Structure 1
Amino acid sequence: MAETLAPAAAGAARGQAVKLDDLMLAMDVVDTLRHQDAFVARELNEDAREQELVLRLRKIYREQGIEVSDATIGEGVKALKESRFVYTPPKRGPGLVLARLWIARGRIGAALTAIAGAIGVIWAAYYFLAERPARIEAERAQIEISTSLPKALDEAYGEVINDAKTPAARPRADRLLADGREALARKDGAGAKAAISGLGRLSADLRQNYQLMIVSRPGEPSGVFRIPDRNTGARNYYLIVEAIGADGRPMALPITSEEDGSAKMTTKWGLRVDQQVYQSVAADKADDGIIQKRKVGEKRRGFLDVDYAIPTSGAAISQW
């Protein structure tokens, strides 16, 4: 059986090789014709001269030492006419677009994945750096306005009422309380805090306790007079005073100058008095260099104003 089958198999292999050689030669013929565009255009447009074309092709191959049969050359000429072995690009259309998308699906998928990842990073950054802090702050402000600020406002008002020993404090406290509640109603946290701070300062003023004393130290003036710019024939008299607290130390207080309206924190200022009081203090100091009656007023706890022991308008200057 082996001896019978072997020649048959060999013959089949030779047949396939012949057919393959003929196919390759036919493709080469087409390629040769395609690279001689002017020659082909002239010859193929005349069917009567096709035989001459075959002869010329045989000559071309013979010059190259290649034997090509007339059948193979004829097949090549026919294939060129039929545009075989020529790649024709597909026509444009939805099908072509979808096919190309399918071919590039790997690259497109990777690009979409990268884009989605970038969008995710941007969203996460926006959420954690902007949206979440803003949301937390809004929630905190809402809790503050609805709970902590109303409580703080009521407590600050209650402290003023408990500290006050003068009716003059009540209207100021009531006004600040009303301002704070109006701010809360319109969800104005800053306005409510301003009212609470105002009540705090009022309470601090009420708790202050000091004595107003004339400065009497070597090298420091105890009084001055000023000549107003608008009336050079007049004089304004001032005693230089300081607030001495319960610990015996001077206290810094906010003083507004009647000359230019400027305000500053200071431990000494000029208190406006009339000429008679000024001259009386000057005589007291001239007697022995010591002012016997230094106390000119007292600010008691629970009150807002100084209780003066001398005639004065309370006007002041902060520099001289």
Structure 2
Amino acid sequence: MAETLAAPVGQATGRAPQSLDELMLAMDVVDTLRHQESLVSRELSGEQRDAQLLERLRQIYRGQGIEVPDRILVEGVQALKEQRFAYEPPGPSFARTVATAWVNRGRFGRRLLTLLLLLAFGWGAYHFGVAEPARQRAAQEQAQAERNRIELAERLPAALEQGYEDVLREAQAPKAREQADRILADGKAAVARGDADGARQAINDLEVLRADLRREYVLRIVSRPGEPTGVWRVPQRNPAGRNYYLIVEAVSPDGRILSLPVTSEEDGRTVTTSKWGVRVSEATAMQVQRDKNDDGIVQRNRLGEKRRGQLDVDYLMPVSGGAITQW
């Protein structure tokens, strides 16, 4: 039997297995030997004879109820020695790497696509959410700085002087000219320090002053049916006293009711309104009330007059100077 085992593979019995069943059985013998590591290490590596190994294999298969021909057992032992049915993976190589990548292309492709999408999303978010707005802001700031430079060198100083001259042509009171001088000085200081917004604000203030000087109206006491002519309030600082107000409106020479900015002495807020209350003495309030009680109409309904070129109203009745915008 030892001589038979020494024969080349496929010639142990004079011929190789002739059927697929015999080949599979030989592979099973090899698999059995591999799973019997202690048996293989003792019998193949030791000094016992091959016949004893074959006998042990017969006992193993008989114990499983399987009859295996001796030539198949011999083929299995020889195949195990020659590692005929053992798989040895190829070593690292470029071809192996390419083949492995091709086999796993689906999994790697999805990961690569996900990574590319994430990179594209991140780039888009940064470009359109950070870089591009920053670039646009920088461009706008640069353009605005250039416009300011040109305006500070040419337009704003000229507009400032023109606005000042327009105010002086309208002003008929020293108070208006003093206010114009102060605004002009502020505007020139803004130009000198390169503050375009400050210069524009000074020009706007001169325009507002000029419009105020050109405005003219009569401050008329309201006496229409269903509307109060006067009201009184209890001041917070003096709960035992009363403040009296006459409700007025500004009427232009052409009969239009004007809306003017008025600051309330109760909350300090300035609102633009067409009707407000002017604080007067109790005696003045009672006098107007008696005038209205005679026939339901206030005959002396002119509280004051604002003339062109003036800033203040010339009052025809005594007033205390405060005002309210709600009652």
TMscore range, shorter length = 0.5 to 0.7
Distance 1:209 1:147, change over 3 A: farther
Name which of structure 1's ranges 257-266 and 60-69 shifts more when overlaid on structure 2.
60-69
Q: Which residue of 1 aligns with 2:187?
A: 177
Query: Is 1:78 aligned to 2:81, yes or no?
Result: yes
Partner Cα distance (1:260, 1:181) in 2? 36
Q: Which residue of 2 aligns with 1:215?
A: 222
Q: What letter is aligned with 1:48?
A: Q
Partner Cα distance (1:77, 1:218) in 2? 123
Q: Give matches, 1:31-42, under 5 Å.
A: 31-42=31-42
Give me the TM-score of the superposition, normalised by structure 1. Answer: 0.64
Distance 1:202 1:132, change over 3 A: farther
Distance 1:236 1:20, change over 3 A: same
Distance 1:257 1:57, change over 3 A: closer
Between the two proteins, the alignment pairs up a number of residues equal to 297
Partner Cα distance (2:297, 2:26) in 1? 136
Partner Cα distance (2:95, 2:192) in 1? 66
Q: What letter is aligned with 2:218?
A: Q
- Please say if residues 242 and 251 of structure 1, whose CA atoms lie closer than 8 Å, have aligned partners that are also in contact: yes
Specify the SS of the correspondent of 2:321. Answer: strand
Query: Is 1:68 aligned to 2:65, yes or no?
Result: no
- RMSD over equivalenced CA pairs, Å: 5.0
Partner Cα distance (1:76, 1:235) in 2? 123
Q: What letter is aligned with 1:78?
A: K
Q: Percent identity?
A: 42
Query: Is 1:266 aligned to 2:276, yes or no?
Result: no
Deviations, residues 82-132 of structure 1 (Å, cap 9, x unaligned): x554345689xxx69996587326564774455234312431343234432
Q: Which residue of 1 aligns with 2:118?
A: 118
Equivalent of 2:100, from 98, 103, 108? 103
Name which of structure 1's ranges 161-170 and 25-34 shifts more when overlaid on structure 2.
25-34
Name which of structure 1's ranges 161-170 and 277-286 shifts more when overlaid on structure 2.
277-286
Specify the SS of the correspondent of 1:135. Answer: helix
Equivalent of 2:324, from 286, 301, 317? 317
Give me the TM-score of the superposition, normalised by structure 2. Answer: 0.63
Deviations, residues 145-188 of structure 1 (Å, cap 9, x unaligned): 44169579665885465245231441553476368659964x9x
- Please say if residues 57 and 73 of structure 1, whose CA atoms lie closer than 8 Å, have aligned partners that are also in contact: no
Partner Cα distance (1:73, 1:319) in 2? 112
Query: Is 1:162 aligned to 2:166, yes or no?
Result: yes
Q: What letter is aligned with 1:68?
A: R
Q: Give matches, 1:1-320, under 5 Å.
A: 29-54=29-54, 57=57, 64=67, 66=69, 68=71, 72=75, 75-76=78-79, 78-79=81-82, 83=83, 85-87=85-87, 103-104=100-101, 106=105, 108=108, 111-112=111-112, 114-147=114-147, 150=151, 155=159, 158-159=162-163, 162-163=166-167, 165=171, 166-171=176-181, 173-174=183-184, 177=187, 185=195, 201-202=208-209, 204-224=211-231, 228=235, 230=237, 236-274=243-281, 277-278=284-285, 281=288, 285=292, 290-320=297-327
Specify the SS of the correspondent of 1:297. Answer: strand
Specify the SS of the correspondent of 1:48. Answer: coil
Name which of structure 1's ranges 56-65 and 154-163 shifts more when overlaid on structure 2.
56-65
Q: Which residue of 1 aligns with 2:5?
A: none
Deviations, residues 253-300 of structure 1 (Å, cap 9, x unaligned): 232233443444432222233456556545655666544443232334
Deviations, residues 45-83 of structure 1 (Å, cap 9, x unaligned): 53223332245557989974646289746633633xxx5
Partner Cα distance (1:283, 1:77) in 2? 133
Distance 1:44 1:175, change over 3 A: farther
Name which of structure 1's ranges 152-161 and 201-210 shifts more when overlaid on structure 2.
152-161
Partner Cα distance (1:275, 1:198) in 2? 37
Partner Cα distance (1:169, 1:141) in 2? 33
Partner Cα distance (1:20, 1:181) in 2? 109
Q: What letter is aligned with 1:244?
A: V
Specify the SS of the correspondent of 1:314. Answer: coil
Distance 1:215 1:117, change over 3 A: closer
Specify the SS of the correspondent of 2:245. Answer: strand
Distance 1:43 1:230, change over 3 A: closer
Deviation at 1:243, TM superposition (A): 0.8
Q: What letter is aligned with 1:76?
A: A
